[in-house]
C-alpha cells in the first residue's frame, strides 16, 4: 500500500515542487492538498503544467490531515506549530518546510523570527532533518524540521572539515548566491523582473535568518560554539544555490588530508557528489535534482580551505530533502522517487 501524502501550502513554490516529485514517487501518492489562497481551485488552474497530471482541488487543512499518513507543511514561519500539534495528536508524520522547528533555542527563535515555542514538549519531539549529517536522529521520529536552502548547502560543504577538526571554527565566512525562487511565490519589489534581471546583489548581509541555523549545525558537528559571517546574494536565475565557504586550515593539516576526509565522509552518500581536483561546483549541473555537488580548493598563500557547494534550492534545499526525510521515516531507501537526473544543458 502506498504512503498517503498531504501537502499544506501546495500552491507555493516548495509545495508545487513537492507535487512534482511525489507524482513520480513509486511508493507514495498525493492524498490531498490545501491552499488558503486558492481553496476550491484545482492545482492545474494555478500551475497549468500539471494539467491531467494533478487536477486535484485544494481542500481545507483538516481534510489534508485526515486523509494523509504524512503531512508536508510548505508554509511561512509561525504557521506550523499548531498544525504539528494536530498531526501529532492524530499520530501522523509531520515534515515542516518552514522554520518553526529548526532552531532548538527559543531565545534564538524569538530574536530571529519574533515568535515563541507554543508547546515546548512538541519541540523536544522534533528533530532536524538533514539526513547526511543527522540520519540516525531522524529514524523513528514523526516531527521533522526540514532545513532551509542556505542551511543545507553550506553545512554540507564544511561538515567533514569541521567534524575532523581540520579547520579553525573561528573566522568562517560563507558567501552564498541563490536563485529567486528562494524568495517565494508572493511578488515583491526585489523579485520583480526589471529589478532582478541583469543585476546581482547581496542582501541581509550578516543579518539573514538562516545564520543561527547554520551556526547551530556547525556547532553540533564541532562540539563547540561556532559563529560565522554569512552573506547571501540574489542571482537573476530561477533555481540553485552556490555557497562558497572559507575556513582557515589548522596548523599541521595538509590539503591532501582534507580531501581524504571528505572522500571518507561522503563515500556512501548518494546525493553528495565530491568533484575531482580542478573542477568547480556549478548550479547548472544539479538543477531539478536532489544532488549536492562539492568542490574543494586550497589557497596556499593564506592556508585557507575554500569549499564550494551547489544545490537546487527547490529540491535538495526544500522539497527533495523533505521527501528524503519521508523515505527515512517510512523505512524506504532514501533515493526512492528522488533519482532525478539533472539536464545536461
Q: Is 230 a member of any domain?
A: yes
The residue behind cell 535568518 is: 209
- Catalytic residue among 54, 87, 149, 292, which? 149
Show the DSSP H helices in the chain as ranges.
Answer: 13-22, 43-46, 61-67, 81-90, 106-113, 120-125, 131-138, 150-163, 193-196, 211-222, 255-265, 320-329
Q: Are residues 62 and 211 in the same domain?
A: no
Q: What is the pTM of this model?
A: 0.96
149 is catalytic: yes
Q: Are residues 163 and 308 in the same domain?
A: yes
Q: Are residues 87 and 105 in the same domain?
A: yes
Q: Is 335 a member of any domain?
A: no
Q: Which residues contact 73 (CB under 8 A, 6 or more apart)?
A: 8, 9, 79, 80, 83, 84, 94, 95, 96, 97, 98
Return the DSSP state at 167.
B
Q: Is 342 a member of any domain?
A: no
Q: Is 225 a member of any domain?
A: yes
Of 36, 20, 89, the closest CA to residue 81 belongs to 89
Q: Are residues 304 and 292 in the same domain?
A: yes
The residue behind cell 599541521 is: 252
Range(s) of the domain holding residue 283: 150-312
- Helix, strand counts (H, E) of the chain: 12, 14
Q: Are residues 23 and 58 in the same domain?
A: yes
CATH number, domain of 265, equals: 3.30.360.10
- Provide the residue-wise pLDDT of the chain in tens; the chain has 345 residues: 999 999 999 999 999 999 999 999 999 999 999 998 899 999 999 999 999 999 999 999 999 999 999 999 999 888 899 999 999 999 999 999 999 999 999 999 999 999 999 999 999 999 999 999 999 999 999 999 999 899 999 999 999 999 999 999 999 999 999 998 887 777 777 777 787 888 899 999 999 999 999 999 999 999 999 999 999 999 999 999 999 999 999 999 999 999 999 999 999 999 999 999 999 999 999 999 999 999 999 999 999 999 999 999 999 999 999 999 999 999 999 999 999 999 999
Is residue 31 packed enough to be buried (19+ CB in 10 Å), middle (13-18) or exposed (0-12)?
buried
Q: Are residues 98 and 54 in the same domain?
A: yes
How far, in Å, CA of 280 to CA of 269, rounded?
A: 19
- Cell numbers for 113: 523570527
Q: Are residues 128 and 180 in the same domain?
A: no
Q: Which residues contact 185 (CB under 8 A, 6 or more apart)?
A: 11, 12, 13
> For the chain, how many structural domains are there in total?
2
Q: Are residues 169 and 68 in the same domain?
A: no
Q: What pLDDT, in 10s, does the model give residues 245-295?
A: 999 999 999 999 999 999 999 999 999 999 999 999 999 999 999 999 999
Q: Is 118 a member of any domain?
A: yes
Q: Are residues 263 and 192 in the same domain?
A: yes
Q: Which residues contact 243 (CB under 8 A, 6 or more apart)?
A: 150, 153, 154, 157, 174, 175, 176, 177, 308, 309, 310
Return the DSSP state at 177.
E
Is residue 313 classed as helix, strand or coil in its secondary structure?
Answer: coil
Q: Is 223 a member of any domain?
A: yes
Q: Are residues 138 and 167 in the same domain?
A: no
Q: Are residues 115 and 206 in the same domain?
A: no
Q: Are residues 286 and 308 in the same domain?
A: yes
Q: Which own/partner contact pairs does 48-55 have at CB distance under 8 Å and 24+ positions apart?
A: 50/16, 50/19, 50/20, 53/23, 54/19, 54/23, 54/30
DSSP 213-253: HHHHHHHHHHTS---EEEEEEE-SSSS-EEEEEEEEBPTT-
- Cell numbers for 90: 492524530
CATH number, domain of 10, equals: 3.40.50.720
Amino acid at each position: 500500500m502506498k504512503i498517503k501524502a498531504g501537502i499544506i501550502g501546495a500552491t507555493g513554490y516548495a509545495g508545487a515542487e513537492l507535487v512534482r516529485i511525489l507524482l513520480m514517487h513509486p511508493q507514495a501518492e498525493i492524498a490531498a492538498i490545501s491552499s488558503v489562497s486558492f481553496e476550491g481551485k484545482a492545482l492545474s488552474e494555478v500551475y497549468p503544467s500539471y494539467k491531467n497530471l494533478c487536477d486535484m482541488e485544494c481542500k481545507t487543512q483538516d481534510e489534508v490531515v485526515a486523509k494523509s499518513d504524512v503531512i508536508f507543511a510548505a508554509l511561512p514561519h509561525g504557521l506550523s506549530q499548531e498544525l504539528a500539534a494536530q498531526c501529532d495528536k492524530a499520530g501522523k508524520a509531520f515534515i515542516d518546510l518552514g522554520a518553526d522547528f529548526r532552531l532548538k533555542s527559543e531565545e534564538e527563535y524569538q530574536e530571529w523570527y519574533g515568535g515563541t515555542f507554543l508547546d515546548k514538549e512538541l519541540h523536544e519531539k522534533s528533530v532536524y532533518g538533514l539526513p547526511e549529517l543527522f540520519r540516525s536522529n531522524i529514524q523513528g521520529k514523526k516531527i521533522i524540521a526540514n532545513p532551509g536552502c542556505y542551511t543545507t548547502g553550506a553545512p554540507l560543504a564544511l561538515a567533514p572539515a569541521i567534524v575532523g577538526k581540520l579547520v579553525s571554527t573561528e573566522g568562517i565566512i560563507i558567501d552564498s548566491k541563490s536563485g529567486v525562487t528562494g524568495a517565494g511565490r508572493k511578488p515583491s519589489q526585489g523579485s520583480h523582473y526589471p529589478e532582478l534581471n541583469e543585476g546581482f546583489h547581496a542582501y541581509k548581509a550578516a543579518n539573514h535568518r538562516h545564520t543561527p541555523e547554520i551556526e547551530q549545525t556547525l556547532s553540533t558537528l564541532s562540539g563547540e560554539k561556532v559563529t560565522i559571517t554569512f552573506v547571501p546574494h540574489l542571482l537573476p536565475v530561477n533555481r540553485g544555490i552556490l555557497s562558497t565557504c572559507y575556513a582557515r586550515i589548522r596548523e599541521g593539516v595538509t590539503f591532501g588530508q582534507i580531501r581524504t576526509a571528505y572522500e571518507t565522509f561522503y563515500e556512501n552518500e548518494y546525493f553528495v557528489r565530491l568533484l575531482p581536483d580542478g573542477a568547480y561546483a556549478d548550479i547548472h549541473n544539479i538543477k531539478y535534482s536532489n544532488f549536492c555537488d562539492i568542490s574543494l580548493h586550497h589557497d596556499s598563500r593564506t592556508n585557507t580551505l575554500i569549499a564550494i557547494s551547489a544545490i537546487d534550492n527547490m529540491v535538495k534545499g526544500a522539497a527533495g530533502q523533505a521527501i528524503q526525510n519521508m523515505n527515512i521515516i517510512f523505512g524506504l531507501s532514501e533515493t526512492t522517487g528522488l533519482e532525478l537526473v539533472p539536464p545536461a544543458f
